[in-house]
Structure 1
Amino acid sequence: MIEFFTAPAPNGWKVAIMLEECGLAYEQRWVNLAAGDQHSQEYLAINPNGRIPAITDHAPADGGEPVTVFESGAVLLYLAEKAGRFLPTDLRGQSRVRQWLFWQVGHLGPTLGQHGHFHLYAEEKLPYAIERFHREALRVYGVMDRQLAQEEHLAGADYTIADMACFPWVRTWKAQGIPLADFPHVKRWYDALKTREGLRRGVALGSDMARRGEMSAAERQNLFGTAKARVQ
């Protein structure tokens, strides 16, 4: 069984999709980010970066002690190797998937995360920051669109963990004010993936718990703050 430490957010949904697509047995352990669960010593022992997601695999392939993995990209690779699915075994295919997975964790996710923060959540609206990350968001959408003009999925003909990694972030397009129709190949890919039952179950996990409405000062501190106690 896999313990899945997560919250209703794109990085958590990436792993939820993989777990559902593979049919792996798991139990979710909710990490209340607004309450500061991610900063507790108990959680930092699981994920020293204090973010979601993370997993603990209680039945690893080697039959040894439980294996804990943090960072969403690393978790997706671990699960792909465990299940033997959604990651090619040939050298070139695997290399393509890894490149697009690392592109997501290095570019698409951070860009849309910052864009969403300054566009939606920052108390002080900073025009330079909003414009800066909006331009970069359009750039990374353009990168995806050019790739998907040539391939059915990001890393080629087959659906892989690279697609699972990107989908939950593209799913935020409307809230982030991204003109999805301007990226027809991304839209074609996005609409096709939405029909997958495993993916639908993954992104539904915890959706009813997603934050809505105003945040308190304490919640903002837990989500966006830099308390001295956390910098040690």
Structure 2
Amino acid sequence: MIQLYTDSSPNGFKITIALEELGLPYVLHHVDIDKGENRRPEFLRLNPFGRIPVLVDDGSGIALFESAAILLYLAEKTGRLLPTEEKARWEAIKWLTVHAASVGPLVGQRVHFELLAAERHPAAIERYRRLTDDAFSVLDSHLASRPYFAGDDYSIADIAHFGWTHIAQIIRFDFSALPHLSAWHQRIAARPAVQRGVTLPAPATGA
């Protein structure tokens, strides 16, 4: 059985979406970050960084943190959500890595400085607005000629990026002027498994 330790966050939603898409049975453990449950010793034994999500596969004995690693593991385990054709497969891995190394951290920093920081830092707010807008523009350009990040195949790259575009819409980081990114977002949002995944362990109401 798969054990998933998560909270209602963009990185957590990536994994609940993937598990719902794959139809894998799993046990959901709600780690309430607002209550500091991610800093408890029993959770830190799973992830010493104190971040969700964490996946433990009882069958294989494999325990993973970092959403990109978990998505790759689930794709490899099932042979799904990652194209088998070599070029498309590497496109999916490339755009998954772009998200993990660039887009996700940039949007996260914008969330911090624009919404969460105790003190306002106008220069930092402007910097991360510009960088996230630039990143969304790159995504929009890429999606102009293909329905999904890897081409014709829906993959873990799409799930990764959707985790943050879902939250971006909730907190009004507007990308509606980018037609290809917006259309892609609506395609992903319409999937039944995605609609289930973004409600687990609870729907997000903010960043």
Q: Same fold (TM over 0.5)?
A: yes
Instruction: Confirm or deny that 1:11 pairs with 2:11.
Output: yes
1:95 Cα shift? 0.9
Specify the SS of the correspondent of 1:34: helix
* 1:131-185 alpha-carbon deviations (Å, 9 max, x no partner): 0100001011011001000111011111000000010201123344433221100
Task: State the distance in 2 between where 1:180 and 1:121 align.
Answer: 21
Aligned pair count? 206
How much identity, in percent, do the aligned residues show? 39
- Corresponding position of 1:228: none
Among 145, 170, 179, the alignment partner of 2:165 is: 170
Question: Runs of 5+ in structure 2 lacking a partner?
Answer: none
Check whether the contact 2:170–2:205 (CA below 8 A) recurs between aligned residues: no
> Which residue number in structure 1 is paired with residue 200 of structure 2?
205
Matched, 1:25 2:25: yes
Task: Give the Cα–Cα distance (whole angstroms) in 1 for the partners of residues 14 and 132 of structure 2.
Answer: 19
AA aligned to 1:74 is A
Q: Out of 87-96 and 189-198, give the one that drifted further.
A: 87-96
Report if aligned partners of 1:54, 1:68 keep a CA contact under 8 Å in 2.
Answer: yes
User: How do 1:181-196 and structure 2 match up within 5 A?
Assistant: 181-196=176-191
Deviation at 1:211, TM superposition (A): 6.3
Note the residue ranges of structure 1 that are not aligned, 5 or more in a row: 61-65, 213-232
State the SS of the aligned residue for 2:34: coil
- 2:6–2:201 Cα contact (<8 Å) kept: no
- Look up the SS of the partner of 2:150 in the other structure: coil
State the alpha-carbon separation in 2 of the partners of residues 123 and 211 from structure 1.
20
Q: Tell me what 1:100 maps to.
A: 95
Name the CA distance, whole Å, in 2 between partners of 1:49 and 1:67: 18
Letter in 1 for 2:70: V
- Assess if the C-alpha contact under 8 Å between 2:28 and 2:201 holds in 1: no
Does residue 76 in structure 1 map to residue 71 in structure 2?
Answer: yes
- Could you say if the C-alpha distance between residues 211 and 43 of structure 1 is closer, same or farther in structure 2, counting changes exceeding 3 Å? farther
**TM, length-normalised to structure 2:** 0.95
* Greater than 3 Å deviation, 4+ residue runs: 174-177
Q: Root-mean-square deviation (CA), in Å?
A: 1.4
Give how far 1:12 is off. 0.2
The structure with more radius of gyration: 1
Q: Is the 8 A contact 1:97 1:160 kept in 2?
A: yes
5 Å matches for 1:1-232?
Answer: 1-60=1-60, 66-208=61-203, 210=204
Listed one character per residue, the Cα deviations across residues 49-92 of structure 1 (whole Å, up to 9, x for unaligned) are 210101100122xxxxx211111000000001111101122322
